[in-house]
Chain A
């Protein structure tokens, strides 16, 4: 296979890929009305693509296009060299499209609605590779009622591959024809012909100037159809521009060019549809971006206020901290005299606390007690009194009904301007509360884990080998000394030398008292040591929580929708640029002498 052939194949594959991507995009629904409108548009495109696929290998369909009296039928007759299409002076002459096919070709294979046409089988060399449709005009009807010839025209034109646009000195700037061309030209190759060369002045230059804003205009033909027909009927070859037009049609429309022309049409059509979609999506995007920004701000605010309240609570319930820290530290410490002492104190403290108001009452304090335990207790506690309890609970982290209502009101406004379907926002206060409770649970869960980390870290820091040795030694020095004193008194002074009495209760009571005080002193010192830096840790913790990229929010569904809309938009963008790139490649390939609608043309 040669290189150009390979390139051609690759091009075709890429177009197929683009169509597949569009199909996927269309089938993946997003609850955003501009995107839904785009999908409706692209669905129509895909329908046309399917029609094109069916007749990819069928002969090219060439349709005449132009105002009434511009000589469309005369041109067709001249092209095939026979008087088939009625030519007249009464307007409009042609009201039903005429289909001209070669006797050997099968019009059924063209995928055209044949009952719309008046079909003529004509033996003409030109019709070997193409079929010609002589269309009615578009500038006599004043309304497009069903069955009117404008209606028929609108159904037939999208099925053609090449438009043969015929105009005259009188009509080349006609407004109605211009509008219809904009509508019909997408997805067609174009040929421009000025007729009535026998009587009119040549206005091709001015005409091209008018067209170039919206179309790529190749060579235009200035023809005299009547003379051309006469020449051919006399057995001559048509002269002048007409001859060249005939040549172009026979050389460019041969079967080998079919696929190229159809693919180029398809690409143009896709590009135009994508452009329209992108305009629509981009036009509505800023409001969605605003919504996203507002959601982010709301979440940030929520997170910040929850973290602030958490910090205050953590400051207030420092005793809970100490207890947890101490119990974790003793756990790490393992079994030893001093850790037994610490455990004793801690247990005593918890025992007392369980009676007092130092007990954990709020969810935050529960989170301090321990993540797993805390969350479990939050769950069990609030499952009982779901309805009213939820309100209290939510309020404890600064989310009361009013604030939820405010948030809901504002976000609804943003979502509405962003055209996001309404059911994305919880409507009842009850749902808002449930969501808020969930948000809070997950925030507290997160906080609990962080608190655990801090406690773990802090506990590890204060249970190093050296620290342990230090406290054990100092703590043990007193009991050992007492033991030593008692031992010496018993074994040596009283038993061996016998010159001293055994210690009495007078000794043991103070000794025990001192032991108590001694252990108390060291436990206190140790607790003080543990507390050092805890305040700073709390501050840091609150800060990281406030800044953490907290996942849950009050409007999770809405956030998810925004994300999907954004993704959708990016997909559309990338499809559009893929189509652009393909179009660029096509534009650089050798010219066929056929015009088309410019890709930059504004479409309304």
Chain B
């Protein structure tokens, strides 16, 4: 029989050994998981090999030499509110770490040592910022325009100037990283080495202090949707389904849209001649508007072309479409907000005219 004390020790040892075994057996993402996770969560925007697309290129030697793993981790976790890059709340720390390891694998050299950052003067930094940085990063650090760029469309540059006032950027970037970027620049992007432009380290410390002061300014606008915003724009028509569809045809023409089709909603799903004429769809598009929207964000095809559904239900004829204002947040693209707002207004006008 084991004495009680020895039993407790034995139990503790076994428990410890069990925990150790469990920890070893736990599915912590291995290095190779980084590639799988990157492919699943990042490659759609940043490209399979990190050469960019909807998102910025990541396989830039100067980028990887300048940014820390902590910067990459926080960027993935927090995203860039209103600047397309979403926040990956659903990934564990270990999964984010595996992705960072995978991205880091594209670096040909280890990260360079971070420069020491001295005390900067915000006011002097503002002056230097106005001279050297505003042209690309905007007067308030709001960044370059043209989010959602894609290689499927003409583009002047592979990257956008980052929004330095973005809360996601400010939370992720250390002062040393900002300083290193200004000092060294980024090859293959428009960001020059500002030491070569004659700035001193003190000048750069001043600029860093100015950029850090963006934290105290009003935040960048992002899509904010009221919880009360309906998911569907809905009207009740006083007309029959056929008459409502006819009125919709006229309404979309009046809004300078091209009618694409007005057909039963189940056409193509059910066999020919078995479609339900009490459920119709009307598809319409303003291709100039669509072209403009796609240039801002190629994912906007989730909302366009404009589709109106007409349904007869218990003696009522309902006319409806998705609510672009409700869906704005999906894209995390503040440049798209005015487009969605315009869509919201036009859709409502068309629905109103059809049931008037």
The reply to whether chain A is a binding partner of chain B is no
- Which A residues form the contact surface with B (CB < 8 A)? none
- Which B residues form the contact surface with A (CB < 8 A)? none
